[in-house]
Structure 1
Amino acid sequence: MRCLKADLARLVGQHATILSMDLIGRLMLHSQTVGAALDGLVSNLRVQDWAVVAALTVSGDTALLTYAVYQPQRKGTEAIIEPAMAVAANALRSLCGSDWCPTEVLLPCTALAEVEPYWRHFRAPVRFNQESATLVFPAGDLKRMVPGADPLLHAMLEDQLRRLRGGAGYEFPDDIRRLLRTRLTSNRCLAADIAELLAMHRRTLSRRLKDSGTGYRAIRNETQFEIARQLLEETGVPLGEIAAALGYSEAGAFTRAFRRWSGRTPTAWRADGGRTR
């Protein structure tokens, strides 16, 4: 199965271009800088792909473009994540030049015997059994100017996407879930942190979630369970590392929480491959 997934990622990476992302790809091509282009990708991805969510973070001299699957009930997340990562690499080559390559690539899935397709496409070391799917590259790349960018066309495309973001089917709790899905494994993600990201007061966040029939703690627990299930089923990441990634001080606390969510221990869940009893 994993070899089939590797072939899928390779094929998508070979044939998809930045324009495969339609409005988002065009917005990226007409952004002033690579950083602005990736911000546009992150902000608008849900308009065209509800299955995947992305986040861009900077740590010192390193930039991290992280992807996560937003439909946790789907099995085999690598079938979604790996092609998305391959397309992202191609998009960055469109913006930075055909010789661009990441520093390394992180994948939240078990290693496979045939890694050559990954090396051939990404042109960088690939590390499996990671807590997130991430393209790692120099933060300086974010300051690169995008050649041929048209500010007027960018404004028009952004206006189109803004209208689509607020269209039918939009629910505020989904924004919170998407933010948490890519940030829980690297940040504390308190409600105040998420409110700050959304440029609103903590009480406003709580009120809007209450109006939608839910609360921040419930969404956080739900997202922690989703991430834990994925890591247990699709990677060999040790329980202690999963616990730490999800913000637990020790594995025992994570085990108790996971038992509340699922009725089973993480060890039993991993042994059963996530099958329901």
Structure 2
Amino acid sequence: MIHANRAARHGGLTIRAGAFEGFRDLAAELGAESSRIFETVGIDPFMLEAPDNKIPVDRFRMALNLASERTGERNFGLLMSQRQSFEKFGILGYLARHAPTVDVMVNKLVTYLRTHDTGSVPSLSVTDKTALCTLKLIGMSNVPTIQHTELALGLVVKLIRNVTSASWAPEALYFNHMRPENYRIHERIFNCPVYYSQSESALELLSKDLSIPLKTSDPGLYALLHKYLDRADEGQGDSFMSVVGNAIKSELDDGKPSLERTAKFIGISPSALQRRLKVEGTTYQNVFQDVRHSVACEFLVNTDLPLSTISSLIGYSEPAIFTRAFKRKAGVTPRYWRQHA
């Protein structure tokens, strides 16, 4: 079970319960009890009954990793991807399935994925001949992401095949993890060259494939769903600022975050991070202080931890310094804020 304090601090990164589509059946077929896996990683099975419920991303990844361990199936995430569908994504899935072309479908998944999973940051870059769909997973650095990565990229391939042709295949797959012993299953499922120990995980396809029309396209339904999803997305906030804030929040577990560490966590250079924050009208220090204050408020409201402990957890060397910083931000002391929050 994850310690409550750690779980609270990572509450900003969530994934819809619909992401567990196919998990129980696959685990059972491979000889593992999903209920025991959920109990071990701290997931209430009741929360999985409604697909729109939000589950901490780190617990989702831990469940995948534990399922792989207990079943002895190294490719658990990849096999699970082949049992999933557009419905996994809720409204986003229906929107993607009824898009006019592969290009629009992939772009909508990239743009709105944060409504489903705030711990995954996809991007799409297109050249004259090829397109590269890159996946960056953020969150707890001590939780392996191999299963989540293979699940995500395996699902993208399956979805494209579902709406175009069962024989469609990407140009190549790239994984940032090492080649597993049973790597032949990757070549069999993806039907293309697969490269390991790369700088990033990505799917490469021909640019011309982006113009393939979807056999499931419905222009009227697509337009209706697009308006609905736009309204639902309004509460998600700015994607880049959310990523930076979540990165800083995650790093608080390992000590005081820094510009360099946060940039590395996100996957960009420190100078690029500074430039982007400047465009957003802020600085790294301002974002850091906002996140630290937010985490302090969570602890003050949701726990009975002493102020000295909270001070240490969020990186202050002394409680007095924490108190002065909190008062500058909130106008009152932490003790007063806790009593009247």
The aligned amino acid for 1:137 is: L
Q: CA deviation at 1:65?
A: 0.9
Matching residue within 104, 108, 123 for 2:191: 123
In the alignment, structure 1 residue 14 sits paired with structure 2 residue 82: yes
CA contact (8 A) 1:62 1:138 kept: yes
Residue 163 of structure 1 corresponds to 231
Residue 50 of structure 1 corresponds to 118
**CA 80–148 in structure 1, closer or farther in 2 if over 3 Å, else same:** closer
CA contact (8 A) 2:163 2:216 kept: no
In the alignment, structure 1 residue 67 sits paired with structure 2 residue 140: no
**CA 171–22 in structure 1, closer or farther in 2 if over 3 Å, else same:** closer
Residue 103 of structure 1 corresponds to 171
Query: Aligned runs of 1:237-248 on 2, under 5 Å?
Result: none
Q: CA deviation at 1:190?
A: 7.1
Identity fraction in percent: 22
3-state secondary structure, aligned to 1:213:
helix
CA contact (8 A) 2:245 2:287 kept: no
Of 47-56 and 157-166, the range deviating more from structure 2: 157-166
> Deviation digits for residues 129-172 of structure 1, max 9, x if unmatched?
00111111101011111124122211221222222222267676
In the alignment, structure 1 residue 140 sits paired with structure 2 residue 208: yes
The aligned amino acid for 1:80 is: H
Residue 146 of structure 2 corresponds to 78
3-state secondary structure, aligned to 1:79:
helix
3-state secondary structure, aligned to 2:173:
strand
Q: CA deviation at 1:29?
A: 1.2
Residue 311 of structure 2 corresponds to none
Residue 108 of structure 2 corresponds to 40
Residue 287 of structure 2 corresponds to 214
Matching residue within 161, 177, 181 for 1:113: 181
Structure 1 unaligned spans of 5+ = 195-201, 216-277
3-state secondary structure, aligned to 1:65:
strand
Residue 224 of structure 1 corresponds to none
**Runs in 1 of length 4+ with deviation above 4 angstroms?**
1-5, 168-172, 175-178, 180-183, 188-192
3-state secondary structure, aligned to 1:98:
coil
Higher Rg of the two aligned structures = 2
**CA 168–24 in structure 1, closer or farther in 2 if over 3 Å, else same:** closer
CA contact (8 A) 1:10 1:117 kept: no
3-state secondary structure, aligned to 1:99:
coil
3-state secondary structure, aligned to 1:56:
strand
C-alpha RMSD of the superposition: 3.1
3-state secondary structure, aligned to 1:105:
strand
> How far apart, CA to CA, are the structure 2 residues paired with 1:190 and 1:139?
29
> How far apart, CA to CA, are the structure 1 residues paired with 2:245 and 2:104?
23
3-state secondary structure, aligned to 2:235:
coil
The aligned amino acid for 1:65 is: C
**CA 74–16 in structure 1, closer or farther in 2 if over 3 Å, else same:** farther
- Structure 1 length as normaliser, TM-score? 0.63
**CA 60–10 in structure 1, closer or farther in 2 if over 3 Å, else same:** same
Q: CA deviation at 1:112?
A: 1.7
In the alignment, structure 1 residue 151 sits paired with structure 2 residue 224: no
- Structure 2 length as normaliser, TM-score? 0.52
3-state secondary structure, aligned to 2:287:
coil
> How far apart, CA to CA, are the structure 2 residues paired with 1:182 and 1:101?
29
Residue 265 of structure 1 corresponds to none
Residue 30 of structure 1 corresponds to 98
Structure 2 unaligned spans of 5+ = 1-64, 247-262, 289-341
Q: CA deviation at 1:97?
A: 1.1
> How far apart, CA to CA, are the structure 2 residues paired with 1:86 and 1:126?
12
Residue 252 of structure 1 corresponds to none
> How far apart, CA to CA, are the structure 1 residues paired with 2:101 and 2:192?
23
Q: CA deviation at 1:214?
A: 2.5
**CA 36–128 in structure 1, closer or farther in 2 if over 3 Å, else same:** same
CA contact (8 A) 1:108 1:131 kept: yes
